[in-house]
Homo-oligomer: A and B are copies of this chain.
Amino acid sequence: MSRKRSLIRSGTTVDQMVRAIGDRIVTGFLRPGEKLDEASLAARFDVSRTPVREALGRLSAMGLVERRPNRGATVAVVTQEHLASMFESMAELEAICARFSAERMTAGERRALEIEHQASARLVQLGAEEDYEYYNTEFHTRLYRGAHSKHIYELTVMTRSRLAPFRRAQFMLPGRLTKSWQEHNVIVTAIMRGDSAAAGHAAKDHVSIVSEASAVFAAVDPMKPAGSTGMSC
């Protein structure tokens, strides 16, 4: 077998497979319910079945694929109900993080949060959706970290990654950027004055709104085909 791997460099082979397959699921290139044949995937990426199997195992633990013994793996099918459940959980988790952040963030963390938040106002004015989405992720990550609770952090990040495929659409709604910033502003203000209850409620509402936005989008188009994102492949 060829010794040199093609273009998907970095990390162990399994890591590459996890990223490669995971990306294709998250971007919708592989559709929910689609069968994931080990041999085909192995051939597709020019590796043996072993790393593919391990990658499928990890993706299964991440909730992106479903696996049944002796019956192979399929891209996880997320029902509207389960999706709602995940967003609901996300809202609760973010609320917890916001509460804890309001109570526990160091002076430095508060300052960094505030500064980045204020800086992001420019992105809203410019309507720079791409950049704002990046900032948005950073903002939430700061919240998760600020809770100073490793396990809460893990649970939250895990849930967020599972929701990733369904959140991309949120900023396509008109005016969402501005509203998002305003909602963030409420959260930041509450955290800065150490009002954990207010921070919690604000964070919960924020996610709930995102949830509704995504639900609207999902209702129209349960899982868009793909290619639209111009993924490498």
Contacts and interface: CB of A to CB of B under 8 A. Distances in A.
Interface of A: 12, 53-54, 57-58, 61, 69, 81-82, 85-86, 88-89, 92, 96, 149-152, 155, 159
Contacts of A88: 149, 151-152
B155 A12 contact: no
Nearest to A153: B85
Contacts of A150: 81-82, 85
A159 to B, nearest CB: 7
Contacts of A89: 149, 151-152, 155
Nearest to A57: B57
A155 B155 CA distance: 7
A69 B12 contact: yes
Contacts of A81: 150
Contact of A57 (B54, B86, B149, B159): B54
Given A88-B152, A89-B152, 6 more contacts: A53-B54, A54-B54, A54-B57, A57-B58, A82-B151, A88-B149
A76 B82 CA distance: 31
Nearest to A11: B69
Contacts of A82: 150-151
14 contacts: A12-B69, A53-B54, A57-B57, A57-B58, A58-B61, A61-B61, A81-B150, A85-B149, A85-B152, A86-B151, A89-B149, A89-B155, A92-B96, A155-B155
